[in-house]
Structure 1
Amino acid sequence: MVQAWYMDDSDVDQRREHRLQPDQPVSPEELRELGVHSYKLDADNYESDPELAKIRKDSNYTFMDIITIHKDTLPNYEQKLKIFYEEHLHLDDEIRYILEGRGYFDVRDKQDRWIRIAMQKGDMITLPAGIYHRFTLDENNYVKAMRLFVGDPVWTPYNRPADDLKARTQYLQFLELEA
């Protein structure tokens, strides 16, 4: 399963771990309270993995594509990394499955503190619509990930502040129910 922890406030290289000292880990249960779910899957056999097929069917993830984030494969690589790392939300859930490499998703907790979620080969994560988050690679500067969607893919980020959007309002209501 993914590892997660509270982040320090350093603005040195976003690709580093940025763990608080002393370390303050975040459990999968704490992530679920934020609406974040994670799975450990067989990335070597993703094309025929029955567990992935079941998740896709149960969650109605009908669209899938694969993105490779590396300076040699992603057009406008530096610009895209900056966009991915801008704090934003989406109107739909964000589902990512790491097939190779490593990266970090950062999400806000109920007190607006950053939690860093380390993702590596075989990790799949779902971020709920309306949660503020961002993404960065680790220091190896490479990840190959599957992106999953319900229906047609929508990649539109709404940078913070976006509190007036329905998805954000619904997410905040969800957090109140979890309190």
Structure 2
Amino acid sequence: MVRAWHMNEVTEDQRKPHMTDPPQFVTLDQLKDLGVLYFGISSDPAKAEEQVTKLRKDRGYTYQDEVICSREKLPNYDETLKTFFTEHLHSDEEIRYVTEGSGYLDVRDKNDKWIRIEVVPNVFIILPAGIYHRFTLDEKNYIKAHRYFVGEPVWTAHNRPADDMEIRKEYIRNHPNAG
């Protein structure tokens, strides 16, 4: 099960949970209002393969690869993590299926506050095109995930501000509870 919460304003070490005190958890319905979709995948490998295959077919994901984020596996580790943590959007959905390790995806709520989404094994998460977001590892400094795309992958990140982009305008139109 995925967990999500509003973040505090502390800017030290991005890899920490940064929960408010007391914690202000965010429900799956609140994430869905922002266009963020979550699917829990079975820990049983055969069932997991069946679930992921169905999601890929139903959503038209034709391209898949795997990414490992760790100091040993990720080229230009420090610089790449800085890039991932820079607030941006994409013109396509961002789809991740976590198989090992953990990290955080952060998205903005309707009041422009950060929501931190914990991604752990068996989490399949979809961020809609046009949503401002960022990614960081947690303090374990390791995650392994599959990435999916419709057609050939597009890796272009558009750093904020990108409010004039049509995909951002479309996101706002389609998600009136989003900011």
TM-score by length of 1: 0.96
1:85-108 Cα offsets, whole Å, 9 max, x none, are: 000000000000101000000000
- CA RMSD, 1 decimal: 1.7
Residue 46 of structure 1 contacts residue 52 of structure 1 at CA under 8 Å; is this kept in 2? no
Aligned to 1:154: 154
Measure, in 2, the Cα distance between the counterparts of 1:7 and 1:114.
Answer: 6
Q: Does 1:104 align with 2:92?
A: no
Identity %: 49
What's the secondary structure of 1:105's corresponding residue? strand
Measure, in 1, the Cα distance between the counterparts of 2:78 and 2:47.
Answer: 30
Matches within 5 A, 1:129-168: 129-168=129-168
Gaps of 5+ in 2: none
1:93-135 Cα offsets, whole Å, 9 max, x none, are: 0000101000000000111110000010110100000000000
- CA shift in 2, pair 1:117/1:48, >3 Å: closer
- Consecutive aligned runs of 4 or more in structure 1 exceeding 3 Å deviation: none
Matches within 5 A, 1:1-179: 1-42=1-42, 45=45, 49-176=49-176
Count how many residue pairs are aligned between Structure 1 and Structure 2.
179
Alignment-mate amino acid for residue 102 of structure 1: S
Measure, in 2, the Cα distance between the counterparts of 1:178 and 1:165.
Answer: 16
Alignment-mate amino acid for residue 50 of structure 1: E
What's the secondary structure of 2:175's corresponding residue? helix
Measure, in 1, the Cα distance between the counterparts of 2:94 and 2:16.
Answer: 23
Residue 104 of structure 1 contacts residue 136 of structure 1 at CA under 8 Å; is this kept in 2? yes
Alignment-mate amino acid for residue 119 of structure 1: V
- CA shift in 2, pair 1:102/1:177, >3 Å: closer
